[in-house]
Amino acid sequence: MNKLSSFLKNKNTVTILGVLACLVILYVGYTMRINQKVKLKTVYYAVQTIQPRTLITDDMVGSMQVPDSFIKGGYYAQYDSIVGKYSNYNTMIAEGSIFYTDLLVEEQNLPDAVLHDINEGERLVSFPVTMESTYGNAIMPDSLVDAYVKYVNEKGDIVYGEFFEKVKVLAVKDSSGENVFESTDSVKSPSYLYFSLPEDKYLLFSALNYVKDVYTAYDIEVVLVPNTVNYNANEVATKVSSTDLYNFVLSEIKTIDGQKELYNKLLNEMEQQEMNQNNQ
């Protein structure tokens, strides 16, 4: 006991034991960290590029093992949680990508981008287009467009003006209702362009289309152009103000049978807008 006590009290002994203890702690800590880094986990990934709003089937899913530390964010860890779901409406899943939770939705929760992006207090407009009128598919979702109206007035003069400006395109669809830019596999021909308008502009635009259909002698043409384009109807056309266009629509819509209600709504809405502007 005396020898053991003397041994432990020796400074060299204490130093050696301390160094050994540190080495053991470092070794254990290092081993734990390495094991944590290289611990493998099974994850599922896309074996092909998956377009938006696509049903996930068995042949689209592969599995692999990767270190747990490599995976960041929420993802589906179970195969059954992936197959049967849909890729989100605004998501293209790249080949090799892990199935993160925000990439997939249940079929009943799959939103339509057109309805999903309408601002509160606005109404959806479906406007017929062609490949030519969209500048060869240059008008895309999220781009801004201006609407111009051109017509022949009672004097026989061609006039045109800006009806509204900087309206965001919500979607461009083909004749089958499919989104033109949803897939990168093929070029689709656009048939309808979707955007939303505040109530007053929506009513005015609806009234304009009624006048266009009833009074064909005016030869009314509505043109949507990218906000970056300087539109000019033609060399002999006279440009008029938006107010002139609105007054033209109001004066004509009230003469159309069955459109008295729309006319009254227009008046009320425009009066309300004028009051709001004066109050501001």
- Give the residue carrying structure tokens 């309808």: 192
Question: What b/e sequence results for 12-36 when a residue is b if at least 16 CB atoms lie within 10 Å of its CB, and e otherwise?
Answer: eeeeeeeeeeeeeeeeeeeeeeeee
Q: 107: which 2 tokens?
A: 């079929």
Cα 206 to Cα 209: distance, rounded to the nearest angstrom:
5
pLDDT at position 22? 64
Q: What is the pLDDT along the chain (280 residues), one digit of tens a residue?
A: 665 566 555 566 556 656 566 665 665 555 566 555 567 788 999 999 888 888 999 999 999 888 776 677 788 989 999 999 999 877 789 899 999 988 898 876 776 656 666 888 899 999 999 999 998 999 998 999 999 999 999 999 999 999 999 999 998 998 887 888 876 667 789 999 999 999 989 999 999 999 999 999 999 999 999 998 888 877 788 999 999 999 999 999 989 888 888 888 888 887 777 777 777 6
Please provide the size of the chain in residues. Answer: 280
pLDDT at position 183? 66
Cα 98 to Cα 103: distance, rounded to the nearest angstrom:
9
pLDDT at position 275? 75
Q: With both helix axes pointing from N to C terminus, report the angle between 199-214 and 242-253 in degrees, rounded to the nearest 10.
A: 60
pLDDT at position 245? 94
Q: 254: which 2 tokens?
A: 């009230």
pLDDT at position 106? 86
